[in-house]
């Protein structure tokens, strides 16, 4: 079994010293267990936080342990009545090529609803994050303006499409021309702003949002968010989903204080984690699946090949190399 372990806790941007590749022999599976061959591994920005030894909403990774996270695999041996060889399952088995799972550790995937990989994004964590964060906190109404940072990523691209379903005007902020074209041409966003080439994000926002900003779905924090905060309307809502611009900073980020803006605009800013909605995941996944089948929602994947390329794929999230969900294909079904 090939595994990628946390060799060293990173300072700033992780690098080759952060990860180690190791091989482990596997024991025979026990009664009630299944042996899974990994097909796809998810790489996600939140994993950066778990590499630090600090208290958070998920446990930090332990040094020399396998990097955990959502994966998809195929059952290749079964000592469980609930699973057969050939079943496709998803669970939190992380960055390794094989995994012996208890039958309650994984969930079977129904390949008739959507391609199996959708369970690692649209029908899984990132889709549910978009679904609940936007609707429960953002509450977009018809005709309102919704601005999204990190708009061309897994969460952002879904948020924008749901906002369109709700009848909002949607403006996405992302880091390349290719991403802006994707947002406007493929996802029907009304406007896109390339923050890497913009000379004045505030001015560009003003132009893209002539009626101001009613909902700001924040995936990135930092300067981009400071600029959006200047354009809020009265009673604006700001779901704070992520702050990827600061995940690799060695010191706490500081910036303009937003309290005055929130007061003047009677705006609501609320952080959240998708886990807050765990008792409603089935409802969310069913609705997302229905919109997908009706053609009202779509998704994009950036798929890298090869187990050995997982760490670089992870780092590419911070270099903006992905459009939509970044996945690594580890083996064939
Ligand atoms: P994405 O697919 O959006 O990938 C990350 C993207 O972030 C990159 O493609 C890049 O796009 C952008 N980015 C990277 N560095 C910066 C930077 N310094 N400034 C601005 N943008 C940057 O990842 P996800 O969709 O999985 O996650 C999006 C956000 O949502 C993350 O912050 C993540 O932590 C958060 N999240 C929160 C959850 C929750 O429960 N609260 C659950 C899941 C995700 P670009 O080219 O545009 O720079």
Q: What is the CA radius of gyration of the chain?
A: 20
Lookup: tokens for 235: 């009673």
pLDDT tens digits, 280-325: 999 999 999 999 999 999 999 999 999 999 999 999 999 999 999 9
Residue with the smallest CA separation from ligand 1 atom 39 is 273
Q: From the CB of residue 15, how many other CB atoms can be counted at a distance below 10 Å? A: 12
Residue 30 has pLDDT above 90, yes or no: yes
Residue 253 has pLDDT above 90, yes or no: no
The rounded Å distance from CA 275 to ligand 1 centre is 17
Domain covering 2-121+300-329, topology: Quinone Oxidoreductase; Chain A, domain 1 (3.90.180)
Mean pLDDT of 113-118: 95
> How far, in Å, CA of 221 to CA of 292, rounded?
29
Q: Are 216 and 133 in contact (CB under 8 A)?
A: no
**pLDDT level of residue 57 (50, 70, 90 thresholds):** confident
Predicted pLDDT at 163 = 98
pLDDT above 70 covers what percent of the chain?
100
> How far, in Å, CA of 37 to CA of 70, rounded?
14
Q: Ligand 1: list residues with CB < 6 Å.
A: 44-46, 125-126, 129, 150, 152-156, 174-176, 179, 219-220, 224, 241-242, 244-245, 272-274, 317-318, 320, 322, 326
Residue with the smallest CA separation from ligand 1 atom 19 is 245
Residue 273 has pLDDT above 90, yes or no: yes
> How far, in Å, CA of 292 to CA of 295, rounded?
5
Q: CA-CA distances (angstroms) from residue 247 to 45, 64, 201, 324?
A: 8, 22, 22, 19
The rounded Å distance from CA 150 to ligand 1 centre is 5
pLDDT above 90 covers what percent of the chain?
96
> How far, in Å, CA of 321 to CA of 284, rounded?
28
The rounded Å distance from CA 89 to ligand 1 centre is 26
Task: Please identify, by atom number, the ligand 1 atom nearest to the C-alpha of residue 240.
Answer: 41
Predicted pLDDT at 156 = 98
Q: Domain 125-275 class?
A: alpha beta
> How far, in Å, CA of 299 to CA of 161, rounded?
10
Task: Please identify, by atom number, the ligand 1 atom nearest to the C-alpha of residue 244.
Answer: 32
For the chain, residues classed under CATH 3.90.180.10 are: 2-121+300-329
Q: Are 35 and 76 in contact (CB under 8 A)?
A: yes
For the chain, residues classed under CATH 3.40.50.720 are: 125-275
The rounded Å distance from CA 31 to ligand 1 centre is 41
CA 126 from chain centre, in angstroms, equals: 4
């Amino acid at each position: 079994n090939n595994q990628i372990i946390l060799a060293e806790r990173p300072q700033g941007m992780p690098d080759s010293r952060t990860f180690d590749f190791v091989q482990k022999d596997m024991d025979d599976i026990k009664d009630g267990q299944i042996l899974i061959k990994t097909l796809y591994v998810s790489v996600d920005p939140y994993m950066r936080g778990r590499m630090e030894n600090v208290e958070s909403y998920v446990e930090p990774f332990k040094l020399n342990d396998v990097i955990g996270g959502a994966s998809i695999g195929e059952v290749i041996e079964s000592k469980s009545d609930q699973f057969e060889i050939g079943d496709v399952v998803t669970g939190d088995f992380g960055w390794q090529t094989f995994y012996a799972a208890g039958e309650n550790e994984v969930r079977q995937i129904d390949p008739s609803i959507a391609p199996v990989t959708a369970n690692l994004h649209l029908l899984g964590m990132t889709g549910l994050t978009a679904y609940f964060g936007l609707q429960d906190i953002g509450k977009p109404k018809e005709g309102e303006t919704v601005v999204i940072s990190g708009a061309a990523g897994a969460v952002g691209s879904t948020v924008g499409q749901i906002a369109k379903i709700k009848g909002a005007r949607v403006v996405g902020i992302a880091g390349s021309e290719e991403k802006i074209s994707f947002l406007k041409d493929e996802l029907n966003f009304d406007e896109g702003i390339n923050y890497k080439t913009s000379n004045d994000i505030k001015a560009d926002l003003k132009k893209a949002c002539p009626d101001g900003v009613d909902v700001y779905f924040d995936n990135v924090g930092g300067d981009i968010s400071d600029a959006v905060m200047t354009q809020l309307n009265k009673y604006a809502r700001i779901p704070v989903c992520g702050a990827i611009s600061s995940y690799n900073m060695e010191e706490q980020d500081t910036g303009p204080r937003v309290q005055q803006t929130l007061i003047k605009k009677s705006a609501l800013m609320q952080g959240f984690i998708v886990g807050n909605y765990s008792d409603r995941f089935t409802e969310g996944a069913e609705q997302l699946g229905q919109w997908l089948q009706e053609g009202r929602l779509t998704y994009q994947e950036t798929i890298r090949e090869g187990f050995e390329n997982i760490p670089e794929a992870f780092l590419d999230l911070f270099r903006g190399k992905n459009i939509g969900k970044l996945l690594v294909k580890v083996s064939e079904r």
